[in-house]
Amino acid sequence: MFGDVKFVCVGGSPWRMKAFTEYIAAELAMEDPKSEYPNICAGTDRYAMYKVGPVLSVSHGMGIPSIAIMLHELIKLLYHAHCKDVTIFRIGTSGGIGLEPGTVVVTRQSVDATFEPKFEQVILGKTVLRNTDLDQSLAEELLQCSKELGQFETVIGNTMCTLDFYEGQARLDGAFCSYSEKDKRDYLIKAKEAGVCNIEMESSVFSAMCKLSGLRAAVVCVTLLDRLKGDQVISSHEVLNDFQKRPQILVGCFIKKQLMTKAQPS
Amino acid sequence: MFGDVKFVCVGGSPWRMKAFTEYIAAELAMEDPKSEYPNICAGTDRYAMYKVGPVLSVSHGMGIPSIAIMLHELIKLLYHAHCKDVTIFRIGTSGGIGLEPGTVVVTRQSVDATFEPKFEQVILGKTVLRNTDLDQSLAEELLQCSKELGQFETVIGNTMCTLDFYEGQARLDGAFCSYSEKDKRDYLIKAKEAGVCNIEMESSVFSAMCKLSGLRAAVVCVTLLDRLKGDQVISSHEVLNDFQKRPQILVGCFIKKQLMTKAQPS
């Protein structure tokens, strides 16, 4: 059932991964109007998984621990199904720094809260540092897709991955806040100067685990707001819905191109 | 709508929190056979929230980042609704160390992977240590409830909270494993010697945030397996389902006693 998988897309929300599956089915002309795409993980409410042709879509919940559990299980699944040359994408949303909301960021390196490109994995109580480099040629190919599409702005840049959405991302609107608006601004400007384009909560462990297991990987997140201008998303529901489709459209374009190239006689 | 809330129960899974709501409604004789308990957070698939009388139930997903986002938003909600004297419980599942599967652990202290009772919160790139003490009198009252119920074993002990389910908890069955079975056993025995009774993934930030915001808090988790004997849960679906109800039954008993005590003329 999984042996033909060549592309995996992971994202936070179950229903958005279902929507992506429907989108990719239409893009690849693989849709069956009568078919519902069944959740392969039905019976658990931890994750949802959908498959259409060579594309597997999986939800991962929020934060490093949640996506790490899913990735352990996904990597085992791909191994036992003898899948080869798999490309994996995390698609999602993020807070931008100094970018127009709606800009798509393809991650060069995932950095921690001190802007270092590393992920700290605790093993038997000891901290092991792991590399968070992503595939640069894949990032460039995605940027090229965006140019061909011409529908929205896409940049390549560093993505800061935090363990916390409020205090960890210098928000002023959480239940606790022990710093001033100036402290927040200074921190975000330092991040920007270190090459950080956006902030999210899963890219570091995703990069580290994909690198360790030899999966070609990219992180593609749209920015919903500019954190230098505020903490709360103020765009309309309609605009946000359009923004959230952008990573799907970009990754969909890439997958379609790849499959068309392979289908051509050499 | 939320002003009368006196008890909050949080747990990983949306459908289990719905099941808890149905259970507590029956226990408190507040059930309405015709009524479906609506998900107050419908329209988002991040969390689910249910309310029956003074009891609010909220799902929190998996891991520290996921529960932290929910707690920030819950604490703000309770504040703006002017709720007073709220008691909050995390109910869930865990891996036990040297305990018969099915034992319920009420947490004394939540400890990290080095068995220290602290939670590291990263704020503007700097690590701040937070205390993870829980309310000892509440833990004792829950233990007393278990004795009165006489249905299952309950102990008070330390709970180790990790950022990762596989390497972080010394499992041998993840996608990667860089240590031997002996290393694993040595680590778990050290944990046991440090007073750790069980391992889960949310108690440290839960304890820290509840303490900071003045919520009386308890962590009540059933053990699904003894990690000294293996990594995989091998009990039958039926047995596991019974185990998973135990924290609900214990917390339900406590809430019922509290409400009955308050209802009596003084």
Q: How confident is the model at residue A24 (pLDDT cuts 50, 70, 90)?
A: very high
Q: What pLDDT does residue A263 have? A: 78
Q: What digits encode the pLDDT tens for the residues B22-52?
A: 999 999 988 776 678 889 988 777 899 999 9
Nearest to A72 among B62, B121, B175 (CB): B175
Work out the number of other CB atoms within 10 angstroms of the CB of residue A263: 7
With 0-12 / 13-18 / 19 or more C-beta atoms within 10 angstroms meaning exposed / middle / buried, residue B43 is exposed
Quick one: angle between helices B237-263 and B14-27, nearest 10?
A: 50
- Test B69 with A166 for CB contact under 8 angstroms: yes
- Please state, in angstroms and rounded to a whole number, the distance separating the CA atoms of residues A223 and A235: 11
* Amino acid symbol at B18: K
**What residue in B sits closest to A175 (Cα-Cα)?**
B72
Instruction: Find tokens 């991650």 and name the residue.
Output: A107
The pLDDT of A193-207, averaged and rounded, is 98
Restricting to A residues 65-84, those with a Cβ less than 8 Å away from any Cβ of B are 65-66, 68-69, 71-73, 75-76, 79
Task: Give B21's DSSP letter.
Answer: H
Q: Check: CB of residue A243 under 8 Å from CB of residue A222.
A: yes
Q: Is the dihedral of CA B114, B159, B123, B14 positive or negative?
A: positive
List of chain B residues with pLDDT < 50 = none
Restricting to A residues 80-119, those with a Cβ less than 8 Å away from any Cβ of B are 113-115
**What residue in A sits closest to B44 (Cα-Cα)?**
A13
The pLDDT of A160-182, averaged and rounded, is 97
- Please state, in angstroms and rounded to a whole number, the distance separating the CA atoms of residues A255 and A7: 8
Tokens standing for residue B204: 């440290």
- Please state, in angstroms and rounded to a whole number, the distance separating the CA atoms of residues A183 and A177: 11
Q: Which residues of chain B neighbour A121 with C-beta distances below 8 Å?
A: 164, 167-168
* Distance, first Cα to last Cα, chain A: 28
Relative to beta strand A87-96, strand A216-226 is parallel
B148–chain A nearest CA distance, Å: 33
Tokens standing for residue B248: 């609900």
**What residue in A sits closest to B17 (Cα-Cα)?**
A45
Q: Does B194 touch chain A (CB under 8 A)?
A: no
Q: What digits encode the pLDDT tens for the residues B143-179?
A: 999 999 999 999 999 999 999 999 999 999 999 999 9
